[in-house]
Amino acid sequence: MADGPPVPGERRIDWLKQFKAVLLAVGFVFVVRTVVAEPYHVPSASMVPTLLNGDELIASKYAYGYSKYSPPIDLLPDFPGRLLGRPPQRGDVIVFRLPREPSTTYVKRLIGLPGDRIQVSGGRLSINGATAPRRLVGPFTGDIGRSGTATLYIETLPGGSEHEIIEMSDADRLDNTREYVVPPGHYFMMGDNRDNSVDSRIPENEGGVGFVPADNLVARADLVLLSRDPAVDLTHVAEWPHAFRMARLMGRIH
């Protein structure tokens, strides 16, 4: 014998169960993206060759502790400092909120710690009066985000951390700077694409990044989840093999 139609009370209980399940799922995702890790999309070439335009990266939220900017949406009240805070390491690739526009998220490499003296002269990075060693690799053939050619180098920071950078020349607009003294509780960020990066070399009042407060650090970029070349039109199915950069799948970020 067939059951009769559900009565209004039963429909309401059913709806409430479904709503609770959805709410729990959303809450779980929110907690994970606040406390553990969150995916981010890279929309520019400022961190080439480490990160490419179109990379989807995973960043660890727990690496530096938690601030008011840790949730994926701004729900926490304004409070100073960090919970379970741990200082970042020089050379880390960091996701942070832009000081002059906190709704905007940037990703750059940490170059200067509080109290450091940072300067670029003739394209060479200097930290506390010592020039960071730079080893020539050769011509860089990838997309650099602007017209021209670039050279690939391996740069070594104090403490021994090595990473790749590219330079179009050693006489570009940010290749000769004043000396910056990083204030207490702040950090100095630079892009690995040294001639095509808006970073701490440009002050906030000139549309740049300036010094980044510790509270603005969001996460440490650890892993490239996947990568898609935005220049390839996904409506052309035949081009799909060229759209996804399989060699970057699950690659560690150094």
Positions annotated as catalytic residues are 46, 108
The three-state DSSP-derived secondary structure of 116-166 is CEEEEECCEEEECCEECCEEEEEEECCCCCCCCCEEEEEEECCCCCEEEEE
- The CA-based angle 70-75-76, given to 5 degrees, is 65
Partners of residue 82 on adjacent β-strands: none
CA 169 to chain centre: 25
Residues 6+ apart with CB under 8 A from 137: 151, 152, 153, 154, 164
Residue 112 Rama label (left phi>0; alpha psi -120 to 50; beta)? beta
CA distance 20 to 30: 15
Could you say which DSSP state residue 204 is in? G
CA distance 77 to 99: 17
Q: Residue with structure tokens 């510790």?
A: 214
